[in-house]
Structure 1
Amino acid sequence: MATTIPGFDYQRIAVEEDVLLHVGVGGSGSPIVLLHGFPQTHLMWRHVAADLAADHTVICPDLRGYGASDKPAERDGGTYSKRTMAADVVTVARELGQERFALAGHDRGALVAIRAGLDHPDTITHLASLDVLPTLDMWDILHGANAAVAFHLYLMAQPPGLPEQMISASADAFFGYFLDAWARDPEAIPADVRAEYLSASREAVPSIVADYRASAGIDIHHDRADRAAGNRLVMPVTVVQQDWGTTLGFDAAALWRAWTTDLEHHTTSAGHFMAEEAPAEIVRILRGMLAR
């Protein structure tokens, strides 16, 4: 099975005394960190990372709780808060000699990237979010029958115990459902990569659930505090989303403008797994962001 991005070197980097992240690094030049989504690992960036590595230092970690990174037990809501995971990313970059860097995230990784931009504005030079809304807005717009598309958010928001048991009982079916339902081009995730995603997710059920549980708890409190204080993302921000805003009855770009001072908003005909379905398009958009 594919476990690495060709041409990238790998190491384990400590972000806490007992938590190490699995990190791939390739290329040279101005740095960009790429954060993966659910139910994936850093391998989702394999095409984009290889292209960007031609003239950038590209850093691709598995988030805590995912892939080959450590999966600490959920001690409290902060263990998998996006604030904690964002601090992980800053620590990884600094350990690699990068004090300031661009940051792009997809899905769960985008939530981490957004929090990093809010918490570390002097560290993040540019920020890209692929196919997600800020946590507070995501919960605000999910209501009525439309919320059915996000049933997994509600399942994994429940207290510890039942969600982990239910998902573990049919892990491949659960995670495989999203790989199938969210992809417009099923060929974009080949069999060996799909098997890698399923294996990694199967072994990480408690930590994945903890990540989602945090987004229904402590992450909301952090977003609300920023909104009340008027904190915004002050670096150039690029957002790429499927054209699902109209379908769900809200203006995604307008929601993002409330969080940013310098926004470019793009829609794509690719599915949710856009970095794998349309890597050339994503590379073009990210290079445009880096030139801003």
Structure 2
Amino acid sequence: MSDMDDFVDVTVSRGGRQVSAGCYKLPVSVGRGEHNAIRIGHDPQDKTVSRTHAIIQRDGTGLRLIDKSANGTIYRGARIKQGNSIGLGTTDHFEIFEFSVTVSKAKHDPSIPVIFEAHVLVDGYMKGKPFLIGEMMLLCFRRGKGYRFEQVPVRADFETICSNHRIDDEHAFAAIVGHRGAGHLFTQTAQNRPVILVNKQPIGETSIILHPRDVIEIQNIRIELYPPGENSLKCSNPSCQLLNPYVLTGNCRFCSFGLVGAVTRVAAATRKVQS
């Protein structure tokens, strides 16, 4: 699971004009080669910029800049030589020839509400802490015969993240995203992903709207989407076990099984703040 400490906002300018800006997962490589998260000096080709010129990486709670180039990187007027590194401030900048690179640690935006508190269960057991969906989205990766989940900011550079995972033979096949106050499930086409059930129903679309208390199932994995700050009831019918509003005297909205004796689930998050 990732948090905002794993991400940085990076703006690149040339001659006073912004040429790129984005949110990237650490470590972030900068250079002329196609493999870099941030490419500079490639159009037109400028061989004074190395294929991998510099790397920004996490250093405890801070950031560190490492030079990998033949010609060095300028930081506060001093040249950092190949293999050397220096700590960066929360917001800082460095120069690679004509390019000025500004780096800031990514921060939460408290104005973006939490849409869901997502609980991931494997074989019926909770896996890690809940994921808060709103400012952050939940990516689902397939690796070999297993699956992995990672939370990233909605504004992050999605293609770079997925490219890095493909190097590790992990492939993103679905994303749970909050957008404009609503939840969405985006997936690859059916032939490129495992069977996905939403509330026990297989989905064929590559994009569907998600609602509070929906349940997503992928083989032995279950993702329960809770409305933040509200209680829910999990149906005790073994063939159902879907989620319902907290009405003890009611019946399950899916199978009509009585909710007396149903398991209470509590979502601790609030809609207002992600921290």
More helix by share: 1
More strand by share: 2
User: Greater RCO between the two (CA within 8 Å, min separation 6)?
Assistant: 1
**TM-score class, shorter:** under 0.3
Normalised TM-score (structure 1): 0.25
Normalised TM-score (structure 2): 0.26
